[in-house]
């Protein structure tokens, strides 16, 4: 059975692929560019979002969900889910307290298959195309870090440049300087780079909001198609650690284990509906804040999975693992992720999904 999330087109054939002379980077180029950003990458692990924890629970759609989307998990019945929370870094060393994006990858287990929703704590991405992605990751290669002097910070502020964040204690190399230089030259990257630079560390994986970033097209029972963006909102609210205290390296996995022993953790699945003129194919551009937002359901997390090798290490998610009722938009970054995640899964020996996928 085909284990590649389905689509009829490849990145090179996609209508919105850039028409520059140079060929678009391959999935292998994209994965290698990420690996090159993390000198301590360990083969056999994810090149990014490397440290993670697998959690189990279930999803229950809201009453209105099915009137917007005919996909099976919005039908109202309780759907089992597997979630992998992660730190964004590609380093295999756990640095929970560092300033870092966090990930939440969710698999909905359906009657005849599965669908994935991959989200992170930024509400936009750094780049619009795969060529920009290669340029950005090249800029983000790690360099030795120096704490900027107070004079340098003052100079940066006078030039309206955001000063570099101070390195974490013990941090010897970072890609921050390169990403800031990239953002200074490429305004589209500024929102995500500046957000990432000050995102901090959550007190719990269950106290952060996660955004799926791209536009998807959902179809309702009458066949009406709508452009939407999904996000998870934690019922317990968003809360970060105190940035003035020294970072602690290893607390997030113990925290969620203890939390779920006491009480389930809940997230609301929010779906924002796009309107004419919104950016449907560009993940760097947020939609206006006053767009209609629908609560599509509640995720209840009940326990940390017993078999972490299966639930966190070997499992592989893919944003193209979709089912009838949800389609990808023409976003070139979303398109590129389909093959890049599959390439990465093969390289690290991750589990192939046993289902065929129906996103056409």
Q: Which residues bind ligand HEM (CB under 6 A)?
A: 30-31, 34, 46-49, 52, 84, 86, 103, 105, 118-120, 125, 133, 212-213, 283, 316-317, 333, 336-337, 340-341, 344-345, 348, 350
| Minimum CB distance to ligand HEM, residue 9 (Å) | 16
| Minimum CB distance to ligand HEM, residue 338 (Å) | 10
Q: What's the rounded Cα separation, in Å, for the pair 320 and 339? A: 9
Structure tokens at 49: 């979002």
Find the angle CA(321)-CA(298)-CA(213) to the nearest 5 degrees. Answer: 45
Q: What's the rounded Cα separation, in Å, for the pair 73 and 66? A: 9
| Minimum CB distance to ligand HEM, residue 147 (Å) | 30
State the Rg of the chain over Cα.
Answer: 20
DSSP 261-288: HHS-EEEEEEEEEP-TTS-SS-TTSPPP
Q: Based on CB atoms, which residue is closest to ligand HEM, 54 or 167?
A: 54
Buried b (16+ CB within 10 A) or exposed e, 125-151: bbbbbbbbbbbbbebbebeebeebeee
| Minimum CB distance to ligand HEM, residue 250 (Å) | 18
Find the angle CA(325)-CA(317)-CA(136) to the nearest 5 degrees. Answer: 105
φ and ψ at 176, to 5 degrees? -60, -45
Q: Based on CB atoms, which residue is closest to ligand HEM, 66 or 214?
A: 214
Q: Based on CB atoms, which residue is closest to ligand HEM, 167 or 283?
A: 283
| Minimum CB distance to ligand HEM, residue 266 (Å) | 20
| Minimum CB distance to ligand HEM, residue 30 (Å) | 4
Q: What's the rounded Cα separation, in Å, for the pair 329 and 103? A: 21
| Minimum CB distance to ligand HEM, residue 146 (Å) | 29
Q: What's the rounded Cα separation, in Å, for the pair 279 and 114? A: 28
| Minimum CB distance to ligand HEM, residue 325 (Å) | 20
Q: Based on CB atoms, which residue is closest to ligand HEM, 32 or 67?
A: 32
Contact 284, 192 (CB under 8 A): yes
Q: Based on CB atoms, which residue is closest to ligand HEM, 17 or 333?
A: 333
Contacts of 99 (CB under 8 A, 6+ apart): 165, 168, 196, 197, 198, 199, 200, 201
Q: Based on CB atoms, which residue is closest to ligand HEM, 167 or 318?
A: 318
Q: Based on CB atoms, which residue is closest to ligand HEM, 106 or 142?
A: 106
| Minimum CB distance to ligand HEM, residue 215 (Å) | 12
Q: Based on CB atoms, which residue is closest to ligand HEM, 127 or 294?
A: 127
φ and ψ at 221, to 5 degrees? -60, -20
Q: Based on CB atoms, which residue is closest to ligand HEM, 212 or 294?
A: 212
DSSP 95-160: -TTSS--EEEEEEEEETTEEEEEEEESSSS-S-SSHHHHHHHHHHT--EE--PPPHHHHHHHHHTT
Matching residue, tokens 């920009």: 132
């Amino acid at each position: 059975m085909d284990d590649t999330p389905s689509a009829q087109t490849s990145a090179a054939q996609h209508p919105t692929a850039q028409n520059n002379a140079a060929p678009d980077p391959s999935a292998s180029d994209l994965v290698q560019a990420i690996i090159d950003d993390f000198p301590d990458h360990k083969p056999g692990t994810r090149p990014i979002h490397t440290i993670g924890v697998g959690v189990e629970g279930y999803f229950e759609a809201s009453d209105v969900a099915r009137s917007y989307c005919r996909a099976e998990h919005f039908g109202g019945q309780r759907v089992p889910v597997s979630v992998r929370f992660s730190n964004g870094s590609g380093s295999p060393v756990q640095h929970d307290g560092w300033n870092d994006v966090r990930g939440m990858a969710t698999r909905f287990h359906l009657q005849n298959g599965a669908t994935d929703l991959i989200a992170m704590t930024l509400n936009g991405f750094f780049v619009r195309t795969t060529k920009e992605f290669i340029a950005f990751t090249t800029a983000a290669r790690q360099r030795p870090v120096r704490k900027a002097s107070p004079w340098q910070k003052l100079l940066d502020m006078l030039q309206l440049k955001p000063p570099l964040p101070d390195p974490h204690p013990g941090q010897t190399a970072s890609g921050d300087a390169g990403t800031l230089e990239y953002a200074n030259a490429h305004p589209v990257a500024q929102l995500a780079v500046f957000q990432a630079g000050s995102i901090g560390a959550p007190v719990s994986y269950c106290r952060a909001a996660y955004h799926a970033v791209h536009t998807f097209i959902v179809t309702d029972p009458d066949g009406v198609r709508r452009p939407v963006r999904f996000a998870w909102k934690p019922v317990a609210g968003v809360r970060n650690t105190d940035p003035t205290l020294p970072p602690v390296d290893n607390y997030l996995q113990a925290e969620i284990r203890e939390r779920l022993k006491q009480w389930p953790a809940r997230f609301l699945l929010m779906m924002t509906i796009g309107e004419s003129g919104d950016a449907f194919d560009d993940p760097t551009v947020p939609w206006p804040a006053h767009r209609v937002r629908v609560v599509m359901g509640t995720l209840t997390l009940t326990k940390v999975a017993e078999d972490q090798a299966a639930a966190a290490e070997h499992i592989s998610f893919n944003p193209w693992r979709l089912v009838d009722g949800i389609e990808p938009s023409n976003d070139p970054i979303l398109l590129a992720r389909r093959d890049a995640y599959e390439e990465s899964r093969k390289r690290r020996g991750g589990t192939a999904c046993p289902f065929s996928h129906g996103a056409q």
